[in-house]
Structure 1
Amino acid sequence: RSSTRSLFEEWKYNVGHDMMWDAKLPWGDNLQLRFTGSLSRTENDRFEHYLLDYASSGSEADRRNRYDRGRRRNYYYQPSAEYTFNFPNDWHFLTYYIYKQDYRSDSSPRYRLDSLAGWEVGAARHLGELPSARELSAALDVPNSYYRHDLSRVHTLGLRTFYSRRTEDKYVWFNFHLPFTQSKEDMRYRREEIDAGLQRRVFRVQPDFTYLVYWFGGTRYFRTFMVNADMALGTPDLVNRLSVRDASDPLHVRVGNPYLQNSWRYNFRTGFLHRSPEKKWFTQVNVNAWLGVNDVAQGFSYNSETGVYTYRPQNVDGNRGVNGSLAFQKEGMAEYWNVGANLNYDFHRSVDLSSVEGMTESVLSKVHNHETKACLSTGYQRGSLTLNVGCDATYRHADGSRADFNTVDAFDFRYGLLGEYTMPWKIHLSTRLNMYSRRGYDEAAMNTDYLIWNASLSRSFLKDRLMVKVEGVDLLRQMRSVYMDVNVQGKTETYYNIVKGYYMLTLGWKLTRNPKKRE
C-alpha cells in the first residue's frame, strides 16, 4: 500500500530564430540558405511525501520526504544549404547539406529530507518547505542523483529527385529521397561511483519514395493512386549503455543494458480511390504494412516479498503488421436514399516481454492478433427529416506463445438508428439509439449488452443568435463505469467516473457578426 502527496513547480524560457533566403537563379535553378537555432533553460522543483506500507507483514512503513531539483540547459543551431536543378522536362534534382549541433546539460540532484532530524514525514513541516543550504547538502541522495552532459554533431548530405507534372486530366508526382547521415554523440555522465564518458558514431542511409497520380474530371479528381515506402533507424539512449541503477522510486527500480542495439522500422503504404460525381458513389482501397527489427521492450524481474519491480530494456525481434481496408458509398439511390459499407482487416504480431503467474522473471511473449471489422449503414433524407440505420461487427482472434495465454475468439457488434427532424415552431429533434454487445470472451463480465439512448430538443431565437438546447443522455441508464478490452498482449480494465442518465440545459450565444458592406 502506497500513497504520495506532491508539489511541482517549473520555470522555463526559450528563445529561437529561423531565417531563410530563397532565390530563383537567372538560369532557372533554385538556391536556398537557411539557419535555425534555439536556446532554452528549464528549472523545476518537486516536493514529495511518500508512504510505503506492508500492512500484512507488520514491518515498519517506509516514509520519505523527498525533494528533486532539476536544471536543464539546451541549445542547438542548424545551418543548411539546398540547390535545386530544374530541368525542362518537369524533372528536378535537389541536393542539400545540413549540419546540426545540439547540446544538453542535465543536473538532477535528489534529496532525502527525512534523513534530517525534524524533517520526517508527519513532522511539523509543510510540503514544499526546505532546510538551510548546509542541511540540504547533507541530505543528498547520492545513489539516485546524476549529472549529464550531451553534445551531438550531425552531418547530413541529401539527394532527391522528383517529377511533378499537371495536365488537363492528370497530375503525376514522383519523389525519391536518399539522405546520408553521419552523427557523433558524446556524453559525460556522473552518478555515485560512475564517472564515464561515452561516444557513439552512427552512419545511416534512410531512403524513401512516393508515387502519386490524380486523374481529373472537370474541376475535381475522380481517381487517385498512391504508393509510399520508407525506413527509419532508432538509437537507444546512451545512458542505457551504462550499468546505472535508479531506485528513486522504491517499487520500480530501473537498470541499464550495455548490450542494447539500434532498431529499424520499415513501412509500406498504398491506396486507390475511385469517385464518380455523376453517379454519386466512390470506392477506396488501402493497404499498409510494417516491420520492426530490434525493437526495445522493458524486461523485468519481480520480488514477491517486497513488491519491487526491476526493469531493464532489451531488444526483441518479430514485431510486424499489415492492415487493409475497403470502403464503398452510394448517394442518391431512389432520390432520397444512400448506402455505405466498410471492411477493415488488421493483423499485428506483437513480441514483448511479459509476466507469467508464478514466475519472477519476464518471459518472451509472442501474440498474433487478428481483427476484422465490417460496417454497413443506410440513410434516408428528405426535407428536414433524416433517418440513418447502421450496424458494425468486429471479430477478434488472438493466440499467443505463453503457456497461460487464453486464445480469444470474440465478437463486438453495434446496431442502432439516428433520427433528426425539424418540427413546427422550428424545434429540432435529434435522437440516437444504439445497442452495444460483446460475445465470446472467456470472462463472463466481458460479455455485455448496453442499450444507449440519447435525445435532444433545440431551438434558435433572436435571428439564430441564441440557441436553447435540452439534452438527455443515457435515458435508459445502461452506461457502465468499467470497460474491459483485450489488446495484443492481454486484458485491460479501464475505470471511468461517469454520471448515469442525466439531463442538461445548454444556452448558446452566437458572437460572430457580419461586417457592414463598404462602398
Structure 2
Amino acid sequence: GGNTYGRSRNYGKETESWIMSMNTIKKNWTRTKLEILPQFTYYKNTTNNLVQSATLSVAPNEKYRGASLDSLFASPASKQLKEAMLNQLSDHQLNRMRYYDGNLSGQIQWKMPQSPDGIILKTENRYFNKKNENASIYDLNYKNGVQDFRNKYNDKWNLNLRTIWDACYYYNGNIDYKYRFSAGLKYTHIYDKNNNDLFRLDKYAEYGGASNVGVGYLPSTRDSLQRAIDADNSFRSHINKDRYELTGNTPSIKLPVFGLHAFLSPGVNYRSERIDYTRGAYKKKMTRNLWSLEPTLFVGKDNCHFKYNVKKVLPELTDILDITTTDNPLNLWSGNPNLKNTDIHRIDFFRGFYKYNENFTSRRAIEIKAYWQLMRNAIGQYVTYDRNTGVVHSTPMNINGNWDMGASFDFNGILDKKNRFTLSNRTEIGYINSVDYVAIEGESGKDPRSSVRTAKANETVSLDYSFGKYSFGAKLRCAYIHAEGSREDFKTINTADVDYGLNATLELPLKLRLFTDITLYSRYGYSDKSMNTNNLVWNARLERSFGKFTVMADGFDLLGKLSNVRKVINAQGRTETWYNTVPRYAMLHIMYKLHFKPKR
C-alpha cells in the first residue's frame, strides 16, 4: 500500500558525575561463614538535546546522510520534500536527573555439629531514589498545515524499595551423599512509588510558539506552574508486590536406564500484587493474587543432563489499566485490561567431555548444548499506523506462535605437549519463529499477525601460539542468516557476515609491550547494497610500566577504514537501520596501583 520513510538526528551534549562504593566483608568461624556486601551509588546527569525528524511518503534522494533534514529545516524549505512530508518535528530537550542507589546484601551459612548438613540465610535490600526534570519545546507540523506546539515541563520522582529473604536447609544424605535434598522459603517484597507531573506551559501566551522562550524557563510562582498541569498525562502510582516461593530440590532418584538420576524443584509460588493509580479523572485500585507451579525437572549423570522448567510471567500492572497516554502525539499508547499471563516452557541439554593433566587443570574441554523454548500468550505490541500522518498507536496484546531452538558445540584445548598451541572453536545453529502484530490503519481486513522464520548458523574459531613473552593468534567468524516471512511484502533474507584477522603481543626494546590486531569485516547478501561492505580494522596498544605507574596509548581503527554506519535487521526482518558512531580514536591511559596490607 505504499512505504513511508523516516529520517532523524540528535545533537546532544551530556555531562555526568558519580561516586560509587562497593565493599565486601567476610568472617569465618568453625561452623559459620558470614558475608556482607554493602554498595552505594550517587549519580547525576544533565543532557541538552536537539532532535529533528521527518516522515516522508517517498524515499528522499540524498547526496549525503542527513541532506533531507538539512533541506526541510532550512528557510525556505525544499518544495519537493515539503510535498512528500507527512510530518516534521523539532524537539529541543533539557533533562536533569539524579539518583541514590543503596544496596545491602549478605548471607550467613551455618553447619550443624557432627554433620555435613546446614542452613543458609540470604538477604538483599535495595533503596533507589530517582529525580527527573525534563523540559521540552516540541514543534510538530503535519502536511496539511496543522501545527502542534508544546512547551512541556515534566517533573518525575521514583522511589523503589526491595527486600529479599531466602532461608534454605540442605541435607547432604548418608556417608555416600545419597538422598541429598534441600528445602527453603524465599520472600520478596517490592514497593514502587511514582509521581509524574506534566505541565503544558504553552497554555500561557508568553510560553507559546511565538514567544521564543528558552527551553526549561519556568513561571516564577508554583501556583502558575500548577495551573498549567496536563492532568490526563500526569499520574500517581503506588505498587506493592509480595512473592512467596517454595525453593529446594527433592532427593535424587536413580532411574533404571543408563544409570541416570533425577530430582525435582517444585517451584510453588504465591504472588500478591496491588496498585493504587491516579491519572486525571481516572482512578483505579486493584489487587491480583496468583498461585503458580513453576517446576524444574533435572535428569542427568556426571557431565550429562537434561533440564525442563516452566516460568510464568505476569504483565505489568500498569499495562492492564484502561488508560491512554497522549503526551507524545506521534506515539500513542493504550493499556489492555484483558492481558493474560505468559507461560515459558524450556528444555536444556548439556554434555561435557573433559581431559585434565596431572595438576587437575583442564587441558581439553568439549561441551555440547541444545535448547528448545516455547512461549504461550507472549505479549506483543499491536500497532496501528496512519500513513497520512505517521502517527503510531500501540497496545499490548497476547499472541501465540513464538518458539525457538538451538544447539552449540564448543572445543577449548591445548594441542601440543609444550603448551604452546591453543585451539578454540564454537559452532552454533538456531531456528526462531517470531510472531508479532503488524497493522495499518484502514487495512483492518488484513491479518495483523506477522510470522517470520529465521535460521541461523555461526562458526567462531581461533588458534593461538605463545612462547615466553610473545604470542600470536588467528581468528575467523562466520555468521549466516536465512529468514522467510508470511507477509506478502516480505523479501526473503540471505545474509552472511565474515570476519577474520590476526593478533600479536610483542616485547619491544625500552621495556615496551605492543598489543595489536587486524581484522577484515565483510558482509554479503543484504538488500541494501550499502550494507555489503569490506572494512579492514587495525587496532594497537603500546604499554610501559614505571614502578607503580603504567602508561598505555591506544589506537583504534588506525587505517580509518571502519564505516561510522552500523546496520542491523530486527527479529521481524522489517527494518534496516543505521547508527552514527565515532569509530576512529586515540586514547592515553595513566594508571597508578595502590595496595594496602592490613596490620597483623
TM over 0.5: yes
1:7 to 86, 94, 100: 94
Change (3 A) 1:377 1:497: closer
Whether 1:482 aligns to 2:565 is yes
Q: Which amino acid aligns with 1:477?
A: G
Shift in Å, 1:257 = 1.4
- What CA distance in whole angstroms lies between the structure 1 residues aligned with 2:264 and 2:135? 52
Counterparts of 2:417 and 2:245, CA distance in 1? 60
Letter aligned with residue 178 of structure 1? P
CA change 1:130–1:357 in 2 (3 A) is closer
Identify the match of residue 511 of structure 1 among 586, 589, 593: 593
The 3 A distance-change label for structure 1 pair 115 and 398 is: same
- What code does the residue aligned with 1:288 have? Y
The structural deviation recorded for 1:180 is 2.0
**Which amino acid in structure 2 is aligned with residue 196 of structure 1?**
K
Q: 1:479–1:14: structure 2 CA closer, same or farther, 3 Å change rule?
A: closer
CA contact (8 A) 1:299 1:362 kept: no
2:355 is aligned, of 255, 276, 286, to 276
Shift of residue 72, structure 1, vs aligned partner? 4.3
1:148 match? 237
The Cα of 1:438 is off from its aligned counterpart by 1.9
Note the C-alpha offset of 1:369: 1.0
**Contact preservation (8 Å) 2:556, 2:583:** no
**Structure 2: any 5+ residue segments left out of the alignment?**
1-87, 254-259
Q: Is the 8 A contact 2:168 2:248 kept in 1?
A: no
Residue 62 in structure 1 maps to residue 133 in structure 2: no
* TM alignment of 1:237-252, pairs within 5 A: 237-252=316-331
Look up the match of 1:130. Answer: 219
1:380-395 aligned at under 5 Å gives the runs 380-395=465-480
Q: Which residue of 2 aligns with 1:407?
A: 492
The answer on whether the counterparts of 2:548 and 2:593 sit within 8 Å (CA) in structure 1 is: no
- Give CA-to-partner distance per residue, 1:2-28, whole Å, 9 cap, x none: 232333445666777778776556695
- Shift in CA distance, 75/497, structure 1 to aligned 2, threshold 3 Å: closer
What per-residue deviation string (whole Å, max 9, x for no partner) do you get for residues 166-189 of structure 1?
xxxxxx997532132222333333
Task: Indicate the percent of aligned positions where both proteins have the same amino acid.
Answer: 23
The equivalent residue for 2:339 is 260
| Alpha carbons of structure 1 residues 147 and 499: separation in structure 2 relative to 1, 3 Å | closer
Q: Provide the secondary structure at the position in 1 that maps to 2:327.
A: strand
CA distance in 2, matches of 1:255, 1:423: 64
Report the secondary structure of 1:118's partner residue: helix
1:18-64 residue CA offsets vs partner (Å, 9 max, x unmatched)? 7877655669565567777666655543322222123x4433x3221
- CA distance in structure 1 between the partners assigned to 2:547 and 2:396 by the alignment: 63
Deviation of 1:205 after TM superposition, in Å, equals 0.7
The alpha-carbon deviation at position 314 of structure 1 amounts to 0.8
Residue matched to 1:342: 426
1:20–1:33: 8 Å Cα contact kept in structure 2? yes
Cα displacement (A) at 1:136: 2.7
Q: How far, CA to CA, are the matches of 2:503 and 2:109 in structure 1?
A: 54
Per the alignment, do residues 53 and 421 of structure 1 end up closer, same or farther by CA in structure 2, a change over 3 Å counting? Answer: same
Letter in 2 for 1:511: K
Paired AA for residue 203 in structure 1: W
Q: 2:482 aligns with which of 380, 385, 397?
A: 397
Q: 1:45 aligns with which of 110, 123, 133?
A: 133
Which range moves more in the overlay, 418-427 or 237-246? 418-427
Which residue is 2:370 aligned to? 287
1:322 maps to 2:405: yes
Measure, in 1, the Cα distance between the counterparts of 2:539 and 2:481.
29
| Equivalent residue, structure 2, for 1:218 | none
Aligned to 1:167: none
Aligned residue type for 1:312 = T
1:179-234 Cα deviation digits (max 9, x unpaired) = 322223333333334333333221101112446765xxxxxxxxx33443322111
Aligned residues: 496
Specify every segment of 5 or more residues in structure 1 that has no aligned partner in the other structure, as ranges: 165-171, 215-223
8 Å Cα contact 1:321/1:349 also seen in 2 = yes
With over 3 angstroms needed to count, the CA separation of the structure-2 counterparts of 1:425 and 1:77, relative to structure 1, is: closer
Question: How far, CA to CA, are the matches of 2:102 and 2:412 in structure 1?
Answer: 50
Aligned partners of 1:210 and 1:229 also within 8 Å: yes
Structure 1 counterpart of 2:526, one-letter code: Y
* Aligned counterpart, 2:304: 225
Give the corresponding residue for 1:495. 579
Q: Which amino acid aligns with 1:129?
A: L
Q: Is the 8 A contact 2:125 2:162 kept in 1?
A: yes
Q: Distance in 2 between matches of 1:429 and 1:79?
A: 49
Q: Which residue of 1 aligns with 2:537?
A: 452
TM-score (norm 2): 0.71
TM-score using structure 1 length? 0.81
